[in-house]
Structure 1
Amino acid sequence: MLVWAAAGCSSVVEGAAEPASGQEGLFDPCKDIPDSVLEEVGLDPATEEVDIAGVEQPGWKICSWTEPWYYFSIYSTESSVATTKQNSNYVGFKPLTIGQREGVEFHLQVDADLARCFVALPAAHGAIWLSVDTKLALEPKESTCELTERYANLLDRHLPR
């Protein structure tokens, strides 16, 4: 029995990895935004992190970059902005215009201090979310919502419609 268990642990699976369910056809911020654009808006492409700790999230394409006191992330999802507004985990919805798009700013219900702020913009495939999230135990150097909105404006022309 012991030999069988050990042999099972060393098996090799051949072939290419399949994307998580719901990711097919989504905008991929890590692949679809050139490094030159990231540098143009003040982000360091070398700090890029794909997904959440490298783990794909079903229904999402996620890319983050590290800055001294925060993380900036872009999320691509099939879910619409309207669906986001129906999620009780999110509150503080405030309409805003980014380029020619009507989007919303919001935050997590449990985040009264706005350590993390989101902007969601409509896209043909669903929505693009942008977020600034303060690093644990650090004080924000400016409003996470203002910074998220600034990134949204700077990156808007590089995001899908």
Structure 2
Amino acid sequence: MKRAGTAMVVAGLAVVGLVGCDSGEPTSKGATTTAEPVLWNPCTEISDAALSEAGVDPATEEKGVAGVPQSGWEICGWGGPNYSITVYTTNKLVDEFEQKPGNVDFRDVTIAGRTGREFKVTGASKDLGCDVVFPANQGVVQLQIFNSALKTGLDDPCTYLERVGEVLVPIFPS
């Protein structure tokens, strides 16, 4: 789905600034390694039934950002008639999202009984998207909604995020 792919590219741009580099730990041969954590994978852990209930088509699944894996992240997105959703996991912390330039309008939210930090990303698509990050043992789980730019009269994306979150957040790792 073209719309979901576009949203994934825009979403990926928001992620790129947080991607880490080398761990800096020397190996036995003197080189450094990038030890990546084992992250919860939304593509394999969220059922088709849950995705359908969340208002997106499981067949539109797209891994990574525009199909490209991102080091230090598990990313999966799906499209629907009114919005697309993307779920990210990383070992980053909520504070890192709050300190990233371009992430604005943070507020505390509780979705499906779980406390998170909702925010927007500045730019031309600011009014189309809404994100929330939830602390997890591995770092964070992020849920992102992007309204279709081709439709008018849609609810605020943060309203959709709350509805979708009621379905998906109970599946997320703690």
TM exceeding 0.5: yes
Q: Does the Cα contact within 8 Å between 2:56 and 2:84 map onto a contact in 1?
A: no
Q: TM-score, normalized by length of structure 2?
A: 0.73
User: Residue 77 of structure 1 corresponds to which residue in structure 2?
Assistant: 90
Cα distance in 2 between the residues matched to 1:51 and 1:68? 21
Q: Does the Cα contact within 8 Å between 1:23 and 1:61 map onto a contact in 2?
A: no
- Following TM superposition, by how much is the alpha carbon of 1:137 offset from its aligned partner in structure 2, in angstroms? 4.5
- Following TM superposition, by how much is the alpha carbon of 1:147 offset from its aligned partner in structure 2, in angstroms? 0.5
Does residue 155 (structure 1) correspond to residue 168 (structure 2)? The answer is: yes
Count of residues paired in the alignment? 141
Does residue 52 (structure 1) correspond to residue 81 (structure 2)? The answer is: no
Cα distance in 2 between the residues matched to 1:135 and 1:26? 29
Aligned to 1:62, which of 69, 75, 79? 75
The residue identity in structure 1 corresponding to 2:132 is V
Aligned to 1:43, which of 34, 41, 56? 56
Cα distance in 2 between the residues matched to 1:142 and 1:127? 26
The residue identity in structure 2 corresponding to 1:26 is L
Residues 99, 71 of structure 1: CA spacing in aligned structure 2 closer, same or farther, 3 A cutoff? Answer: closer
The residue identity in structure 1 corresponding to 2:87 is I
Cα distance in 1 between the residues matched to 2:169 and 2:116? 11
Specify the SS of the correspondent of 2:127. coil
User: Residue 94 of structure 1 corresponds to which residue in structure 2?
Assistant: 107
Q: After superposition, where does 1:3-152 map in structure 2 within 5 Å?
A: 24-111=37-124, 113-139=126-152, 141-152=154-165
- Following TM superposition, by how much is the alpha carbon of 1:22 offset from its aligned partner in structure 2, in angstroms? 6.5
Q: TM-score, normalized by length of structure 1?
A: 0.78
Q: Does the Cα contact within 8 Å between 1:117 and 1:145 map onto a contact in 2?
A: yes
Cα distance in 1 between the residues matched to 2:125 and 2:115? 24
Which residues of structure 1 form unaligned runs of 5+? Answer: 1-20
Identical counterparts, % of pairs: 34
Report the structure number with the largest CA radius of gyration.
Answer: 1
State the superposition RMSD in angstroms.
2.0
The residue identity in structure 2 corresponding to 1:35 is D
User: Residue 8 of structure 1 corresponds to which residue in structure 2?
Assistant: none
User: Residue 4 of structure 1 corresponds to which residue in structure 2?
Assistant: none
User: Residue 18 of structure 1 corresponds to which residue in structure 2?
Assistant: none
Over 4 Å off, 4+ runs: none
Residues 153, 33 of structure 1: CA spacing in aligned structure 2 closer, same or farther, 3 A cutoff? Answer: same
- Following TM superposition, by how much is the alpha carbon of 1:108 offset from its aligned partner in structure 2, in angstroms? 0.8
- Following TM superposition, by how much is the alpha carbon of 1:113 offset from its aligned partner in structure 2, in angstroms? 4.9
Q: Does the Cα contact within 8 Å between 1:22 and 1:60 map onto a contact in 2?
A: no
The residue identity in structure 1 corresponding to 2:114 is R
Specify the SS of the correspondent of 1:114. helix
